[in-house]
Structure 1
């Protein structure tokens, strides 16, 4: 008996108990997508040559023209406050979106769409979202997980020829109904059932499903003309235990007998359309099943494969937009607003916030752009897309919260002049949808990453499932070698594989070292806890977060190399440093909470060097904030998607910053004078550039002003007086 078979025979029984059971839905999720550089990081041996081979994404001339003309024209039509108050986009905006095929960006030109790359798709969404999130959501849903992508990948020729041109030009507006009231995060267990049956239609028998369903949180449902539907297909004529055919996806035109679009939902009182979809005995002919009868029961696999790409585009673009707008607002407002004789951006508390926002934005946007380039190269990185979804939406929420702290009273008064209030209200939405971040960190990033990215785990699971002792033995020997290599690299020196920019070699070496320490720690946690780690979500979420921070740090190295902009070096270093500090802190927390005193005691041996992963020092943060405050080009490079709206507080700030350019070094003096005079004209007359100074002062005054509501105070006084008199009597 060979060594492989002997080891496999001895290990088969304990491994069969230790490895978690895998259902069909989990298998479909694991099989979806591809593995990219995140797999190198999980293995502990990142190959930077592989990272650098992914060139910088480029827009085609057609894409660039669309962004510079149609997208710019669209954002100039968007008034964030007016749309929020109206709770809908203006009719002219809906018309513009249809006319210029914003709903058909992912649909190829031969079907009437724009045929854009993933990079262009993300850039369009990000630019719109910097001005108005509701419009961005309206654009992104038909181009994200929904009928168009499902049809392109799995639809029959007849379905493609009918629907794709109509979806591209907006004659059809789609929604996709997946989530049920009793199956939210556990979407694979949807209770909606479709029973296989036959109906006579126009004198001929038609096979199909009689479906009952109840769906909610469905974006665009109130205005949809076609509903994508996921349901459990059942054939009651089969023997017991064989009746479930699996999740199936279909397209239902609106109206359809039995289909009901419910009353509108209002996610955080947002203006984008959302609502429930219900059906009572809705007959779904087999021709309506996406892909026809051959795809019955394949819906979950289809959805997982589409999400492997979709998670990397739309919601990360929203998160990037929130970060860019927040940084632009904080940095700009910090130059206009003066207190205690200084622009508030010079105060260390605010400068520290500004620097932190900039460093996080550099890292998250680096990862977003790198992953878009991978998608455009044909990859479908499921783990990396989950990393982006979690990290970009969380970074967006944090950036808006930081921005609100800096704005103070300006930020909390609702009205047209408010700069971030609507985004602040919207931030939790992106956190919640397409896989709640709480679960994605543990179940997708680490859970899926541990099987898809690890060089041996998937082989071990497959060998146990087949009861193949020799294959299990080979996988275990390979796993042992993998652990020993990473132990050596963790305790000693981790060699740098591949070429990196000379200026970032120290940072790349730290990434390589921390990758080995992470890979070793993941193996130790899996070896200690086995299948129980799947349920210990606080531990697995930390492991998922460490992988995420390593991915973002590595993407910074790629970004600096591909952009070839020496002025961004301080930002690149700051971004990598922040990400590695977060990763190191999480690894230490992991060992502090592992249920093994031996591992906790021995961990300092292989976690050497983590103490050197410190956050930005105050001096470095202040220097970075000063560079942002004084170098407008640096802000433009970090915030390239911030667009010019129709009106409102963001436009006021842009006007003030433009006017400040004409004033030059007199800005600080004008800011100090602004709050000490009732006459802007008299202040302007004393300056070296009277006309430019007056234009700036008027713009700055609009930035500092807040909105009031007519009649509220006067109406409140009589009520207050009556209450006081009533109490007195």
Structure 2
């Protein structure tokens, strides 16, 4: 008997007990998508040549023209406060979205769509979201998880030919019903059932499903003309135990007998359309099943494969928009608003917040851009997309919270001049949808990452399921060698692989070392706890968050290299240090909470050298905030998507900053005059440029002012 087979036979029983059970739905989720650079980080061996080889984001001439013209025209039609108050987009905006094929961005040109890449799609959503969230959500849903992508990947030729042109030009507006009242985060357990049957339709016998369903939180449902529906297919003619066919996806036109679009939901009183869908004895012919009869029961795999890419686009774009807008507002308001005779942005408390916001934005947007480049190269990184969804939506919420702190009373008075109030109200929505962040951190980022990204775990699970001792033995020998290598790299030296930018070599060395320690820690936690780790969500969430922090730090290295702008070096360094500090802190917290006295005692040795990873010293934060305040080009680089709305507080701030730049060093004196009130015209007459001074004073007064009713 060979050594590998012997090891496998000895290990088979304990591994069968230790490894978590894996059902079909979980297997479909695990096998969805591809593994990219996040796999190298999980293995403790990041290769910077492989990272940088991804190359920069690129837009085609058509994509660039669309952003510069159609998107800018749309943004000029959007009044955030008016839309929020009306509870809907204006009719002219709906009409423009259809006419310019905003709903068909991902649909290929041969089917009448725009045929845009992932990066262009994300850029469109980001720019719109800096001005109005409701419009951005309306645009993103038909281009995200929904009928269009499912039809492109799995639809029959007849379904594609009928629906794709109609979806592209807005004749059909889709929604997709997955979430049920009793199956939210556990979406795979949806109770909605479709019983296989036959009905007489127009004189012929038609196979299909009689479906009963109850869906809620369905975006665009109140205005949809075609409903995507996920349900559990059942064949009662089969023997007991074989009747469940699995989750199935279908398209139902509106109206369909038995289907009811319920009253409208109002997520945080937002203006985008959302509502429930219900049906009782709704007949779904087999031709309505996406992909036809051969795709019955494959719906969960289809959805997971689409989400492997979709999570990286729309909601991260919304998070990026929230961050960019909040930083623009905080930095700009800090220059216009004065207290105690100084612009508030120069006070250290606010300067520190501004610098932290900028560093986080650089990191999260770097990860978003890097992952979009991977998607456009044909990858479908499921773990990385979950990282983006969690990190960008959380960063967006944090940025808006920070912005509200800086704005003070200005931020809490509702009205058209409020700068962040609507965004503050919307922030929890992105946290909740497409996999709640509480779930995603533990079960998707680490739970899926532990099997997909680890070089040996998935092979071990497959060997146990196949009861193959030889295969298990080979995987275990490789796994032990992997652990020993990472132990050596953690205790002694972790060599940098590849050629990171010379300016960031020290940060790349720290990232490599921390990646090895993360890989070792993940193996120790899995080895100690086995399948129990899946249920110990406080521990697995820390492991998920630490992997996310490493991914964001690596993306910063990539971004600095491909953008090749040395003026961004202080921001890039701050962003990387911030993420490395976060990862190290999470690992220390993890060891402190492991149910092993031995590993807790080993933690100082295994994590030695990570205690000095302070993210931003005070002097560095103040210097960065000063640069943001005095170098407009730096802000344009960090906030390229912040766009000019039709009216409102953001436009007031933009006008004030533009007027201030025209006046130069006169602004402090004008601000003092503004505080003394009196006639703005009289103050402006004393300026070197009275016309520009009056424009600034009027705009600044709007920025400082609040609304009355």
Compute the TM-score of the two structures, normalised by the length of structure 2: 1.00
Aligned to 2:655: 655
In 1, the alpha carbon distance for the partners of 2:677 and 2:305 equals 63
> Superposition pairs for residues 164-203 of structure 1, below 5 Å?
164-203=164-203
Partner of 1:375: 375
Q: State the partner residue of 1:339.
A: 339
Secondary structure of the 2:495 match is coil
CA distance in 2, matches of 1:314, 1:226: 21
Once structures 1 and 2 are overlaid, which stretch shifts more, 76-85 or 683-692?
Answer: 683-692
Distance in 2, Cα, partners of 1:567 & 1:322: 24
| Equivalence map 1:220-239=2 (5 Å) | 220-239=220-239
Distance 1:298 1:597 in 2: 46
Q: Map 1:149-298; keep pairs closer than 5 Å.
A: 149-298=149-298
Tell me how far 1:689 sits from its aligned partner: 1.7
Note the 1:683-702 alignment, pairs <5 A. Answer: 683-702=683-702
- Indicate the residue corresponding to 2:68 in structure 1: 68
User: 1:427 — aligned with what?
Assistant: 427
CA contact (8 A) 1:190 1:232 kept: yes
Distance 1:47 1:620 in 2: 29
Q: Which residue of 2 aligns with 1:301?
A: 301
Do the aligned residues in 2 keep the contact of 1:342 with 1:672 (CA within 8 Å)?
Answer: no
Aligned position for 1:513: 513
Is the CA contact 1:43–1:455 (under 8 Å) kept in the aligned structure 2? yes
Matches within 5 A, 1:4-15: 4-15=4-15
- 1:316 and 2:319 matched: no
Q: Do residues 607 (structure 1) and 591 (structure 2) align?
A: no
Q: Is the 8 A contact 1:441 1:545 kept in 2?
A: yes
Equivalent residue number for residue 538 of structure 1: 538
Q: Could you give the per-residue CA deviations for residues 176-221 of structure 1, whole angstroms, max 9, x where no partner exists? A: 0000000000000000000000011111110000000000000000
- Check conservation: 1:194, 1:231, Cα contact below 8 A: yes
* SS of the residue 2:611 aligns to: helix
The reply on whether 1:59 has 2:48 as its aligned counterpart is: no
1:694 shift after superposition: 1.1
| Alpha-carbon displacement from aligned partner over 1:49-100 (angstroms, at most 9, x marks no partner) | 1101100011000000000000000000000000000000000000000000
- Match for residue 405 of structure 2? 405
CA positional deviation for 1:245: 0.2
C-alpha separation between the residues in 2 aligned to 1:334 and 1:23? 54
Corresponding residue number in structure 2 for 1:726: none
**Native 8 Å contact 1:12 1:469 kept in 2:** yes
Aligned to 2:474: 474
The Cα shift of 1:399 comes to: 0.2
Q: Tell me if 1:585 matches 2:597.
A: no
Q: Is the 8 A contact 1:337 1:704 kept in 2?
A: yes
Shift of 1:673: 1.5
**Secondary structure in 2 matching 1:454:** coil
1:388 aligned partner: 388
Aligned to 1:665: 665
- C-alpha separation between the residues in 2 aligned to 1:347 and 1:682? 30
CA distance in 2, matches of 1:298, 1:672: 68
Equivalent in the alignment of 1:713 = none
1:269-301 CA distances to partner (integer Å, 9 max, x unpaired)?
Answer: 000000000001000000000000000000000
User: Secondary structure, in 3 states, of the residue corresponding to 2:198?
Assistant: strand
Equivalent position SS for 1:591: helix
Could you give the per-residue CA deviations for residues 382-417 of structure 1, whole angstroms, max 9, x where no partner exists? Answer: 000000000000000000000000000000000000
Runs of 4 or more, structure 1, over 3 Å off, are none
Cα distance in 2 for partners of 1:672, 1:355 equals: 26
Hey, what's the Cα distance between the residues in 1 that align with 2:429 and 2:402? 18
Answer yes or no: is the 8 Å Cα contact 1:209–1:285 preserved in 2.
Answer: yes
Please give the secondary structure, in 1, of the residue aligned with 2:106. Answer: coil
Residue of structure 2 equivalent to 1:681:
681
Within 2, Cα distance between the matches of 1:327 and 1:420?
11
What does the per-residue CA deviation read over 1:484-511, in whole Å, with 9 as the maximum and x for residues that have no partner? 0000000011000001110000000000
Distance 2:401 2:553 in 1: 23
Could you tell me how far apart the structure 1 residues matched to 2:613 and 2:527 are? Answer: 27
2:574 maps to 1:574: yes
Q: What is the CA distance between 1:661 and its match in structure 2?
A: 1.1
d(CA) in 1 for partners of 2:672 and 2:149?
55
Q: CA deviation at 1:686?
A: 1.9
The residue correspondences of 1:37-116 to structure 2 (distance < 5 A) are: 37-116=37-116
CA contact (8 A) 1:248 1:295 kept: yes
Shift of 1:691: 1.5
Q: CA shift at 1:314, angstroms?
A: 0.0
Distance 2:676 2:513 in 1: 56
**1:722 match:** none
Distance in 1 (CA, whole Å) between partners of 2:621 and 2:323 is 18
Deviation, 1:683, is 1.4
How far apart are the structure 2 equivalents of 1:232 and 1:462? 27
Shift of 1:688: 1.9
Structure 1 residue matching 2:499: 3-state secondary structure: coil
Which residues in structure 2 correspond to 1:428-507 (within 5 Å)?
A: 428-507=428-507
Q: Which digits, 9 at most, give the CA deviation of each residue in 1:3-60, with x for residues without a partner?
A: 1011111100000000000000000001100000000000000011110110001100
RMSD: 0.5
| Alignment size in residue pairs | 709
How many Å separate the matches in 1 of 2:63 and 2:5?
Answer: 57
Corresponding position: 1:708 with 2:703: no
Q: Distance in 2 between matches of 1:509 and 1:634?
A: 27
1:419 partner SS: coil
* 1:597-627 per-position Cα deviation (integer Å, ceiling 9, x unaligned): 0001012112111112112010000000000
Report if aligned partners of 1:144, 1:310 keep a CA contact under 8 Å in 2: yes
State how far apart, in whole Å, the 2-side matches of 1:445 and 1:277 are: 31
1:430 aligns to what SS in structure 2?
A: helix
Alpha-carbon displacement from aligned partner over 1:145-200 (angstroms, at most 9, x marks no partner): 00000000000000000000000000000000000000000000000000000011
Secondary structure at 1:213's aligned position in 2?
Answer: strand
Separation in structure 2 between the aligned mates of residue 630 and residue 524 of structure 1, nearest angstrom: 48
Distance 1:133 1:434 in 2: 17
Matched-pair contact (CA < 8 Å) for 1:211–1:280:
yes
Quick one: distance in 1 between partners of 2:342 and 2:688?
A: 21
- Structure 2 stretches lacking a partner, 5+ long: none
Q: Structure 1 residue 587: deviation in Å? A: 0.3
| CA shift digits 1:239-267 (9 cap, x unpaired) | 00000000000000000000000000000
Give the whole-Å Cα distance in 1 for the aligned partners of 2:704 and 2:134.
Answer: 26
1:677 is displaced (CA, Å) by 2.5
Rounded to whole Å, the distance in 2 between the matches of 1:288 and 1:31 is 26
Aligned-partner SS, 1:263:
coil
Q: How far apart are the structure 1 equivalents of 2:298 and 2:108?
A: 24
| 1:562 alignment partner in structure 2 | 562
**Whole-angstrom CA distance in 2 between matches of 1:689 and 1:66:** 38
Structure 1 residue matching 2:281: 3-state secondary structure: strand
